[in-house]
A and B are shown apart, each in its own frame.
Chain A
Amino acid sequence: MNDKIESQEKLSDSPIIQIIEMHKWFGDFHVLRDINLSVNKGERIVICGPSGSGKSTLIRCINRLEEHQRGRIIVDNIELTNDIKNVEKIRAEVGMVFQHFNLFPHLTILDNLTLGPIWVRKTPRAKAEDMAMYYLEKVHIAEQAKKFPGQLSGGQQQRVAIARSLCMKPKVMLFDEPTSALDPEMVKEVLDVMIQLAQEGMTMLVVSHEMGFARSVAHRVLFMDFGQILEQNTPKEFFSNPQHERSKLFLSQILH
């Protein structure tokens, strides 16, 4: 808790992500309704809410894995439009960690990590490999560098996936339920890596139901339902004193 408060003071107030009156539909289905969200540099946000409420879709709009149809999304001072060059620029600055890891199974761990730096950032291979080893050590998995993803456990794969994103030196990290596909005994090793990342001041948007994680690192918790952000508050306030009917119901369900 103390760590958090300490870094909170350093929060810069220039927003790195700005979402303004954003709507999205899948066909006729109105999946995101009037989303307004501003994320400052260094801020850490945990997004929770029932399944199907649009959490994944929201963070996937931020790196345009999904397209929004109304409103504006501005990331790192670039507005997301159909301009594919801008989209690629933003994607290079925004790391994403998926529920199912999505490592590249035909490449070694090391090659998974160096791919982005070499091809997107045009980093020389030797330098990219040094950086990859640095981040692999950081997620405590350097000895697996020559293996293929299929030879690793789920928790190890997810840590590799985090390291793969970090190799791009992203300004923002998006996490879509990073621990929900893991066996219970592996959840902690991944959360520990994420907590460490938080302590270093990374800007993070995390879709997660890990309440302990939210309590210890988040500045803000967003509660989503029916494609809307129904409530946002500090974790302390949100967990002890939820305002909205739906949040109360949701919390009572996941806490038991």
Chain B
Amino acid sequence: METATISVAATEEIKPPLTGIGVIGWARKNLFSGKFNTVLTLLILFALVKTVPPFIRWAFVDSLWSSESQACKEAAGACWSVVTNNFRFILFGFYPYDQQWRPILAIALLVAFVIYSHSRRRWNKNLLIAWPLGLALMGIIMHGGIFFLPEVETEKWSGISLTLLLAIFGLSAAYPLGVILALGRRSRLPAIKALSVVYIELIRGVPLISMLFMASVMLPLFLPEGITIDKILRAQVAIILFTAAYIAEVVRGGLQAIPRGQYEAAEALGLSYYQKMRLIVLPQALKTVIPPTVSILISAFKDTSLVVIIGLFDLLKTTHVTLSNPDWMGFSNEAYIFTAMIYFVGCFFMSNFSRRLEAQLKT
């Protein structure tokens, strides 16, 4: 505090040289510093000029937004009508048409929860209780069968609701499971350690697709007659088990980065194993592995689209079905751009969140 007065006086006198500031200064420093960079800048400018205007013309100028499919076939630009005309099917699939306000409500609830939880200052015990309750409420809204809500069996859940369901439950269950597995792998108890190692290595040696196949085709063969497990639940479990193994390995890396002195200081205070891990080791370890963890969560989110191969209709599959309608065949660019944007919003949100979280946790 004492030094502050000195530095204020010093900065007032010296100003930066003029060439270093302003648009010209910025361009010279960042775009045209040296021959190679100048050539690179010009090449990129050329490529942009060649591609951006035609794309804008296709996507916005010559495009059709709410026409019949016949009009689209004659248009020169994009046919966004494929999206607007099939909007509700792409998003909600086979969920009964007159009940589709329910997935909308559930998703709105989810978005509200996510936005509210965005800031770390709001994290407390109440929020920790509110989340499972909120998720259960979303499930009730979707499933119905109580109050005045007619029941909608899970087979009919499709489109974006299915994608979000698989992703949210998958990620929020896989994360704690992965942390437990990572702790297990570093346990001093040989049985727990061996179990964790076998589990992690086994799962990592198998592609997600084959796990989904096993869950949907093989598992029922082993179940006693008359007992069936919901198909979505089976896929969900496969995704959780799969993602958890990868999270476990990332978290293990974080645990290994914690110096021995931290464990020893915690033990010397008399903390129990559980307290030591919860209060000292995990907060530090999980913080250092936020970036790779979020990478795994993002790819798990996108991998939920693999459930198409066991006959579930997620967002990608409903898009695909729309395009198999003879009226709308051939407009796959437009439809997939739309779907891609939905995935992008989800992924962008996650990576943005992780960056903010890292900044907030920086000490």
Contacts and interface: CB of A to CB of B under 8 A. Distances in A.
B149 interface: no
A88 to B, nearest CB: 5
A104 B267 contact: no
Interface stretch (A5-13, A36-44, A115-123): A115-123
Contact of B284 (A89, A106, A120): A106
A215 interface: no
Given A115-B279, A148-B363, A104 B262 contact: yes
B125 to A, nearest CB: 15
B270 A98 contact: no
B265 A89 contact: no
A133 to B, nearest CB: 18
Nearest to A116: B269
Q: Taking each of B269, B270, B272, B284, which has the highest tally of chain A beta carbons within 10 Å of its own beta carbon?
A: B269
A102 to B, nearest CB: 4
B275 interface: yes
Interface residues of A, number: 26
A105 B285 CA distance: 12
B130 to A, nearest CB: 24
Given A65-B264, A98-B261, A106-B284, A92 B363 contact: no
B261 A102 contact: yes
Contacts of B109: none
A8 B363 CA distance: 45
A168 B269 contact: yes
Given A105-B363, A106-B284, A88 B270 contact: yes
B289 to A, nearest CB: 14
A106 B270 contact: no
Contacts of B283: 106
Nearest to B284: A106
Contact of B271 (A96, A105, A120): A120
A92 B265 CA distance: 12
B270 A102 contact: no
Nearest to A89: B270
B287 interface: yes
Interface of A: 63, 65, 84, 88-89, 91-92, 94-96, 98, 100, 102-106, 115-116, 119-120, 148, 150, 164-165, 168
The 8 closest A-B pairs by CB, nearest first: A92-B270, A102-B265, A102-B261, A91-B270, A116-B269, A96-B268, A120-B270, A148-B363
14 contacts: A63-B268, A92-B269, A96-B264, A96-B265, A96-B268, A98-B264, A102-B265, A105-B284, A115-B269, A115-B271, A115-B279, A119-B279, A164-B269, A165-B269
Interface of B: 259, 261-262, 264-272, 275, 279-280, 283-284, 287, 361, 363
